[in-house]
Each structure stands twice: as structure tokens, then as C-alpha cells.
Copies of this chain bind each other. A is one copy, B any other.
């Protein structure tokens, strides 16, 4: 039951804008792998944005802050992103990849019982939360800030949760079919509940100031909570 977590997969692979492909190709041709300091400008900015949005909230972050953190000036941000919202969208896409896409890929490519998959799910999500606590915060903040704002952003957030729900649904249905999980409850309801638990954990952990101890306790509780829920 020990899962190897290929760390490279956990790092963002964003769709590279056409403009940047040449630069990337050139860098690759020199045999350089992108270390931290060799990220493209846009990636540096996205990283800085994720960090700043996470710690101050989207509305409270200025592009000056983000640019400075990335080591550039505001102009650079506007060269690479249409506006502040576009930057947020890119950040969210990154988060989508790092969190749910990575988790989903890992779960799906692994053969095993539904129970194994459910545990794997929680494990990956927990690991993601631990490795990228900023991501989580961004997601929480944006998901809280935007219900009455930009449709594009809302859609992006929805997409992340849709994927999360889909993955859970798959696992539960498989469990029901294999007889591991109880068929007493509607799958939709279980998913809803599991998502809620998931979110709640994240939120609580975030409010605790991302205390690792709280994280550990919540992780454990989540797994057992999940299992109780699906098996009963």
C-alpha cells in the first residue's frame, strides 16, 4: 500500500504560449533543464501570483506585488497576460493540473480495489495540500470571492470541482460494483458528502494556518471518515 509519487508529475506543466515555445526549445537544445531560476518569465509570474493570491487573496494582491515577487515589473505581467483576471485563470489552470489532474491520473493508472483507490485519492490530495498549501488557499479564496464575479473564473473553479466529483463517482461506482461499498446510498449523495468533507478539511486546515499537525490528524480522520461513509 505504498504508492510511489513521481514528483515531476506534481509540478505544473502549463500549456506554453506560442510566443514562448521558441525560447523553451532553445533552452532545451542547450541541454538545460529548467531549474527554479530558469523558469520562463510567464511561469515565474504565475508562481509568484499563486503565492501572493494565496497569502493575500486575489483582490488584495496588486500586480505590482506579484511582479516584484517574480523579480519583474508590472509591465512584464501585462506583456504576458491580458489582464489580472487572465493571470488568475492561468494560476487556476496550474492548480487544476497539480491537484486533481495529478490525483486522477495516479488513481486511474493504478489497478487495485476501490478501497485502495479511495485511499489513494485522499493520500494524493493530502500530499498536494501539503506540498502546495498556496494552491489550496487560492482555491478557497477564489471560490469564496467569485460567486458574483467573472464567469470565466467561476467556470474554471467549477471545472476543478467537477473533475473532483467525477473521480469520486468513478471510484464509488466501482466499489459498489465490486461489492466493497454499500449500495444503500445514492452515489451522488455520497460524492456530495465526500466533497464536503474534503472541502471542510481543506478549509479548516487553512484556517489553522496550515498547521502540519492538524493536517496529519485531518488526513487520518478523512480516510476513516470516507471509508465509513462508503462502506456503511
Contact = CB atoms under 8 A, between A and B. Distances in A.
B217 A189 contact: yes
A55 B147 contact: yes
Contacts of A57: 59, 144-145, 148
This chain: copies in complex? 4
Contacts of A192: 204, 214, 217-218, 221
B232 A228 contact: yes
A203 B59 CA distance: 20
Interface string A187-202: 0111011011111111
Given A147-B206, A228-B229, A196 B201 contact: yes
Contact of A144 (B140, B222, B229): B140
Contact of A59 (B59, B147, B199): B59
Contacts of A145: 57, 59-60, 141, 144-145
A56 B200 contact: no
A73 interface: no
Contacts of A217: 188-189, 192
Given A60-B59, A145-B60, A149-B60, A199 B193 contact: no
A201 to B, nearest CB: 5
A203 B161 CA distance: 12
Contacts of A149: 56, 60
Given A141-B145, A148-B55, A218-B193, A161 B198 contact: no
A202 B203 CA distance: 11
Nearest to A59: B59
Nearest to A210: B147
Given A192-B221, A203-B203, 7 more contacts: A56-B149, A147-B206, A189-B220, A189-B221, A192-B204, A200-B201, A200-B203
17 contacts: A57-B59, A57-B145, A59-B59, A59-B145, A140-B144, A143-B207, A147-B206, A192-B217, A192-B218, A193-B222, A196-B197, A196-B221, A196-B222, A197-B197, A200-B201, A200-B203, A228-B228
